[in-house]
Amino acid sequence: MSVRTRAFFLMGTLMVVGAWALLPARSPSADGGPAAVEADGCPRPTPSPTSTFLCLFQSQFKLPLRAPAIVPQECTYLTPPSVYNEPCGPGWTSTAYVGQYVYRITLTSDGRFSARRLKCRRPVGAIRTLTVGIDYGTVNIGQVLSTYWPLSVARVNGSHAAWATAQGYQSPLVQFTDESVVVPRGALPARPVDRPGVRDYLSQQGLDLSAFDVLIVLDLDPLSPAGGWAYLGGDFVAVGWYFEGGAGTIDQYRSDAFAATAFQHEMAHTWAWEHEWTYRETEARTGNIDLFITEPALFGWIDQDGDSIPEILDATPYGMTRLFVPHTSRGQ
């Protein structure tokens, strides 16, 4: 098992859920415990779960979808965040990015489901990131940000571009434009590095944070190994030191690994990706958990309703006949 793979599993335990991200939806089920589909008046899934999902999207969210993204998985977890050694059974995950929310329903083949509406950033477009390297004086963070990191970001962008080309798209769906800054550890409050502390400091230094969509903090202290974490649906990503043998410098390989953590795993959490969206299955199927941290269809990156427009760009996504704005989105 590679260092990077271990790191991903470590990170899986450290996700922070922003309190504002989870809003109650209709009972039964949503955000609460799993429920049986019959309780919502929906049919049990046959070998094809489509009609069950269409019914659940309507009953849970009033979303008149006709073509949601549905991905099968061997291990279906109904109560995220879960631990992977929980019992699980076959089922499906379905998502729909509509406005500033992703609507997620998980369904087991024996007819139980959970539903969540999660406020999120949308996985599309030019995403402006500011990478903040915390300087502990023990690793070459300045050199990394001036030399290796830009190449790491370019490789991430190259992966998105190559995938888009393979799909026949004219341009990539996601590209990152990154700037970076080094911040001495001593300039920050003594508490663990966190969003308010970093933002306050940068603002005091005169940085216009409105120029960036997501802050990426490279909090790389070999004396205090950690994983990465992000606010679910939020605008803050942190990456800790996770290589064995603490000391040493960061080379291109390690820079690429930290970039994968930041721009693929943790960034996906800003899109409200939960680990339970076909994680292990995707890894096994594609051999690539860097770009495809989950199935591309679940990020809206693949057309579902036959108009050749990926749903994340589609003005009438998932087969809706008009852009449908649920009442719950008012005032956002």
> In the complex, which residues of this chain contact Zn ion (CB under 5 A)?
11-12, 15
DSSP letter assigned to residue 158 = H
Q: Of these partners, Zn ion, Ca ion, none, which one is at the site of residue 31 (CB under 5 to 8 Å by kind)?
A: none
Q: Of these partners, Ca ion, Zn ion, none, which one is at the site of residue 213 (CB under 5 to 8 Å by kind)?
A: none
- CB-wise, 25 or 69, nearer to Ca ion? 69
The distance of closest approach from Cβ of residue 319 to Zn ion in the complex, given in angstroms and rounded to an integer, is: 30
Q: Of these partners, Ca ion, Zn ion, none, which one is at the site of residue 305 (CB under 5 to 8 Å by kind)?
A: Ca ion
Residues touching Ca ion, count (CB under 5 A) = 5
Site for Ca ion in 292-331 (CB under 5 A): 303, 305, 307, 309, 314
The distance of closest approach from Cβ of residue 248 to Zn ion in the complex, given in angstroms and rounded to an integer, is: 25
The answer to whether 37 and 44 have CB atoms below 8 angstroms apart is: yes
Q: Of these partners, Zn ion, Ca ion, none, which one is at the site of residue 15 (CB under 5 to 8 Å by kind)?
A: Zn ion
Q: Taking CB under 5 A as the rule, does residue 221 contact Ca ion?
A: no
The distance of closest approach from Cβ of residue 318 to Zn ion in the complex, given in angstroms and rounded to an integer, is: 26
- CB-wise, 15 or 96, nearer to Zn ion? 15
Distance CA 43, CA 98 (A): 24
The distance of closest approach from Cβ of residue 192 to Ca ion in the complex, given in angstroms and rounded to an integer, is: 42
Surface-to-core class of residue 174, CB atoms within 10 Å of its CB (0-12 exposed, 13-18 middle, 19+ buried) = buried
DSSP letter assigned to residue 272 = T
Within a 13 Å sphere around the CA of 182, how many CA atoms are in the beta-carbon half?
13
| H helix count then E strand count, the chain | 8, 11
Task: Give per-residue burial for 49-66: e unless 16+ CB within 10 Å, then b.
Answer: beebbbebbebbbebebe
